[in-house]
Structure 1
Amino acid sequence: MPFFALLLLLTGAVQAHYRFSKLIINGTPEPHEWISIRQIKNFQTNSGVISVTSPDIRSFQNRVGCSTATSAACEEPGFVAISAITHFGSVQFYMAKVASISAQGSPLGSGVETWPAYQNSSVSFTVAKNTPSGKYLVRVESIALHQAQSVGGAQMYLSYAQVEVMGGGNGHSGLLVAFPGANNANDPGLRWSYYPIATSYTAPGPKIWDGN
């Protein structure tokens, strides 16, 4: 399924794993887990996916069926992390019609100054006003870099929500990607250097859709 990239946040590390299991619509989290988010395989362990070529990087699903939430264009849907995002790294969002990423960061360390989503319990993005109306799978992907000194050390924490965009526009993104395939294990954005200290960071994945 083709996805386009939406928005990228940067997170910042403790020692616990996490999962994204509640959707936020109109500023309100869903009352319990797995309502509009498809239940994923780490619903008990909170463990991440470590191989970008594994079928789990595509959907990581334990159960497919769930409800579909609605969101107007320009609103800010989000995902609740159970527990908080406790590993530093980037957080990215993708949408696939049943498609936008932005990046920010630097100077680089392993704290909140570099990764603003660090220790947050939720992350969100803005649905571009030109996103066409319709039903979408919305993917959140948190890339933990605390063990990414070598290839294959990054951990991906991901979930998919079912969202229907209302009142959208006529935008079109040609920046489509598929999973597996969007990332390569050797991508600089899946590596982290404690020494020498990193001075720049380029998130993996496609270019950011500007909403037009």
Structure 2
Amino acid sequence: MKIVGIIIVVAALLSGVSAHYRFTSLIVNGQTTGAYQYVRQNTNYNSPVTDITSTDARCNVGGGTGGNTSTATVAAGSSLGFQMDQAVFHLGPVDIYVRQAPSTAASWDGSGASWFKVYELGATYSPFTFTSLGKSQFSFNIPSGIPSGEYLVRVEQIALHVPNAPQFYISCAQINLTGGGSASPAKVSIPGAVSATDPGLTVNIYYPVPTNYTVPGPAVFTG
């Protein structure tokens, strides 16, 4: 079993940059919008973020502002999603955080303890596998109870194919939420929502094969 695990890890390493991917388009009520129309374009091509203490963990390298990105108008409770430039190749979870901007989404860098999670896709156990593998679209409902205003919507896939060296594939979209409520979910900072020592990041998914897995970060807010 140890030899099999080593072979799998080596194969994952040899797959290299060709296995990297990006979230390029926002999906609004089932309609896929143009690439980088509402999603901030990063400047590190399709490379992942590996330092979760960096401000790049918010919206990727080059994603600190969105002056060249449009802001989509979305009603609270609507279906949102992200389209990728290719399917997820590396095993790991997907989660989505949102944060209301203090002014406009385009001008905000994502700083402060104001993010909350609205979606996650983890693993199943018979056999153990991450259900994000092979998918190129991820959709969810934006909570109907959160206040109206402009938001950043952050999607993240955490690749765990190299033990103790997780890779974070990240993009941020900009939306103007209408028809919202008055809910006030618990909030976290990014960076800071997860720790490098989190069991969900240090896990070896090859050997011994895990019998359970918890997606890193706070609980999903659904109100």
TM-score by length of 2: 0.78
Amino acid at match of 2:62: N
Shift of 1:206: 1.3
1:1-212 matched pairs, under 5 angstroms:
15=15, 16-31=19-34, 33-42=35-44, 44=45, 46-62=46-62, 64-65=66-67, 66-98=69-101, 99-103=116-120, 104-107=122-125, 114-147=129-162, 149-150=163-164, 153-173=165-185, 175-193=186-204, 194-211=206-223
Matched residues in 1 for 2:95 and 2:126: separation? 18
RMSD: 2.0
How many pairs are equivalent? 189
Per the alignment, in what secondary structure is the counterpart of residue 125 of structure 2? coil
The answer (yes or no) to whether the contact 2:148–2:176 under 8 Å persists in 1 is yes
Shift of 1:57: 0.9
Larger radius of gyration: 2
The answer (yes or no) to whether the contact 1:25–1:77 under 8 Å persists in 2 is yes
Shift of 1:183: 1.1
Q: Could you say which structure has the higher helix fraction?
A: 2
Per the alignment, in what secondary structure is the counterpart of residue 184 of structure 1? coil
Shift of 1:81: 0.9
The answer (yes or no) to whether the contact 1:38–1:61 under 8 Å persists in 2 is no
Higher RCO (C-alpha 8 Å, min separation 6): 1
Matched residues in 1 for 2:143 and 2:194: separation? 24
Per the alignment, in what secondary structure is the counterpart of residue 177 of structure 1? coil
Change (3 A) 1:109 1:159: farther
The answer (yes or no) to whether the contact 1:78–1:124 under 8 Å persists in 2 is yes
Deviations 1:15-69 (A, max 9, x none): 41100111111211113x2111111123x3x111111112211222425321000
Change (3 A) 1:129 1:71: same
Q: Gaps spanning 5+ residues in structure 1: where?
A: 1-12
Per the alignment, in what secondary structure is the counterpart of residue 141 of structure 2? coil
Shift of 1:86: 1.3
Per the alignment, in what secondary structure is the counterpart of residue 130 of structure 2? coil
The answer (yes or no) to whether the contact 1:24–1:78 under 8 Å persists in 2 is yes
Shift of 1:182: 1.1
Shift of 1:88: 1.3
Q: Gaps spanning 5+ residues in structure 2: where?
A: 1-10, 102-115
The answer (yes or no) to whether the contact 1:146–1:192 under 8 Å persists in 2 is no
